[in-house]
């Protein structure tokens, strides 16, 4: 904490610090308090009535591949991202990315050099930051455009033939964010609640603190809850006829001493058959959106657990679902996600955006 305060004075970002004071009032308004919490006895105000959706659209092979360029998609898939939520960014401008790149690289340099003053255009800056937009990766018109950030470390000896690998990459996105909430935000706020980062070194905290200081936002870890993991299992399995999931894998941890881990891998075709057997009769007329209910997700899980119990007389409900994975992607309870197939990314991101919005503090 202490360190962040120091770096603020070191880096040329004074303007932000001045602006901050003027908008504290509107900051209170958040997604969760939107309903107006009643303070009845036995009712904790911190717990609101907002919950994860109990029904969502079946993933359709999204036209994302047509809209977003291949190069940009390639950056997002096949990497395991660590998830965080971010509160709305104050005065973030999608048009200022060039200047942000400069500011962030100067900030990193300052952090790395322990407070020495550095010239923004300085030649000795080892880190090159690039901000870019992932255009068209949105679900509704109110979603802010996804921002992708890469940090390259300039090698001491530059070799022409070798492509440089980024030392850090991350992105902020909002896919199908709640309209009511997005529209309730004051004018100067941009909501990109889902922050994904991937790195080897310790740059994430530096990037986060730059965002915190520049846009007066705050970050927090985003875990993927049991319910969300179940949702992902169902949503992915639902894609099987169009794009093979190869297998459905679940990893459970049971609370015994020493800890017992159960890896339950189901044949793709059989998982799909079980999934279709628990699907309710689809009454929607042709052309209408195919939707999935939480009841179906729960009975899918029940079916899988039941089959397991029938053999081992061991109740998986006593344990915790830690990880689910298919050929389309993998998700871990600790808040790590990997997209292996860009076609169905949007659905997953919609779920994660929702989780991020729910996890934001009041």
Partner 1 sequence: MSRGFVYNILFRTGIVLSVYIRMSLLKPFSKLPGLNAANILLVECEEQFQKSLADALVEETAVTVYVRLAKSLPLPKENEESRPRIDLVVFIINLTSELSFQSAEASLKYLDPGYLLGKVCFMVTNARNASVPTERLDAVRKLAAALHCPLLFAEDQTPDGVTYATKRLLSILKVSAGLVPMATALYLSSLTSCTVPPDIDQPSFD
Partner 2 sequence: MDESKKRLVQRLIRRIPTKMLKTTLQKWGHLTGEQHRAMDSIQSKWALTESLLAICEENELAVKHLTELEMIYMMDNPDQGMWYAFQLTDPGDDAQSVDLMQFKEQFKSHLRELVRQVSVKIKKHTDEAVWIRIAWGDAYSRPDHLKPTYVVHYLQTPYVFVTRLNSKQKPMLFQAMVLSTRYQYFKDANLSGRNLTAIRDLLMRKYQQVFPTKYPSPLTERKQTVTNPHVEREQAKPAANRLQMACEAFGGGTLPQLQSAVYKLETKFRDHTNTLMTEREEPFRCVVKFSSTNLLESLKNCASSGIASTPVTPLLSSIPLKGKNYFVITDNVPGPSSQMRQTQN
Binders of partner 1 among 209-228, rule CB under 8 A? 221, 223, 225-228
d(CA 269, CA 289): 24
Q: Which stretch binds partner 1 (CB under 8 A): 32-40, 84-92, 98-106, 264-272?
A: 32-40
Look at residue 134 and give the partner it binds from partner 1, partner 2, none, a contact being a CB closer than 5 to 8 Å depending on partner kind: none
First-to-final CA distance of the chain: 21
d(CA 176, CA 291): 16
Using the Cα atoms of residue 134, residue 362, residue 220 and residue 18 in order, give the sign of their dihedral: positive
Q: Where on the chain is the footprint of partner 2 (CB under 8 A)? A: 254-267, 270, 273-274, 277-278, 299, 303, 306-308, 310-315, 318-319
d(CA 358, CA 362): 10
Verify binding: residue 141, partner 1, rule CB under 8 A. Answer: no
Look at residue 84 and give the partner it binds from partner 2, partner 1, none, a contact being a CB closer than 5 to 8 Å depending on partner kind: none
Binders of partner 1 among 33-72, rule CB under 8 A? 35, 38, 40-43, 47-55
Closer residue to partner 2 (CB): 25 or 310: 310
Q: SS3 of 17, please?
A: helix
- Do the Cβ atoms of 64 and 137 come closer than 8 Å? yes
Closer residue to partner 2 (CB): 180 or 257: 257
Closer residue to partner 1 (CB): 30 or 91: 30
Minimum separation from the CB atom of position 85 to partner 1 (A): 12
Verify binding: residue 260, partner 1, rule CB under 8 A. Answer: no
Both tokens assigned to 149: 């950030």
Both tokens assigned to 255: 């609370």
**What residue has token string 């504290």?**
24
d(CA 48, CA 230): 22
Binding residues (CB under 8 A) for partner 1: these are: 35, 38, 40-43, 47-55, 178, 180, 221, 223, 225-228, 255, 315, 317-320, 333, 354, 357-358
């Amino acid at each position: 904490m202490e360190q962040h305060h120091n770096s603020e004075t070191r880096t040329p970002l004074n303007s932000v610090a001045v602006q901050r004071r003027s908008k504290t009032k509107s900051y209170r308004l958040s997604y969760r308090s939107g309903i107006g919490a009643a303070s009845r006895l036995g009712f904790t105000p911190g717990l609101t009535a907002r919950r994860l959706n109990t029904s969502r659209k079946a993933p359709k092979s999204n036209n994302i591949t047509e809209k977003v360029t291949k190069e940009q998609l390639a950056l997002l898939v096949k990497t395991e991202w660590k998830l965080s939520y971010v509160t709305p960014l104050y005065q973030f401008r999608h048009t200022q990315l060039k200047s942000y790149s400069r500011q962030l690289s100067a900030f990193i340099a300052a952090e790395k050099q322990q407070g020495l003053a550095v010239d923004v255009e300085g030649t000795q800056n080892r880190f090159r930051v690039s901000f870019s937009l992932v255009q068209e990766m949105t679900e509704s018109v109110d979603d802010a455009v996804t921002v992708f950030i890469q940090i390259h470390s300039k090698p001491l000896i530059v070799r022409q033939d070798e492509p440089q690998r980024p030392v850090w990459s991350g992105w902020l996105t909002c896919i199908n964010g709640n309209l009511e909430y997005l529209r309730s935000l004051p004018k100067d706020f941009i909501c990109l609640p889902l922050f994904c980062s991937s790195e080897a070194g310790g740059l994430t905290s530096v990037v986060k603190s730059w965002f915190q200081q520049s846009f007066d936002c705050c970050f927090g870890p985003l875990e993927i809850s049991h319910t969300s993991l179940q949702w992902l299992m169902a949503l992915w399995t639902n894609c099987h006829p169009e794009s093979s999931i190869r297998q459905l894998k679940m990893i459970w941890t049971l609370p015994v001493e020493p800890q017992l881990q159960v890896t339950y891998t189901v044949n793709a075709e059989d998982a799909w058959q079980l999934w279709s057997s628990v699907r309710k009769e689809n009454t929607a007329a042709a052309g209408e959106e195919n939707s999935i209910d939480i009841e179906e997700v729960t009975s899918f899980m029940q079916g899988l657990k039941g089959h397991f119990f029938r053999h081992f007389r061991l109740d998986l409900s006593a344990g915790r679902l830690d990880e689910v994975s298919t050929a389309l992607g993998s998700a871990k309870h600790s808040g790590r996600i990997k997209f292996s197939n860009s076609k169905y990314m949007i659905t997953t991101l919609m779920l994660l955006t929702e989780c991020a919005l729910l996890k934001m503090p009041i």
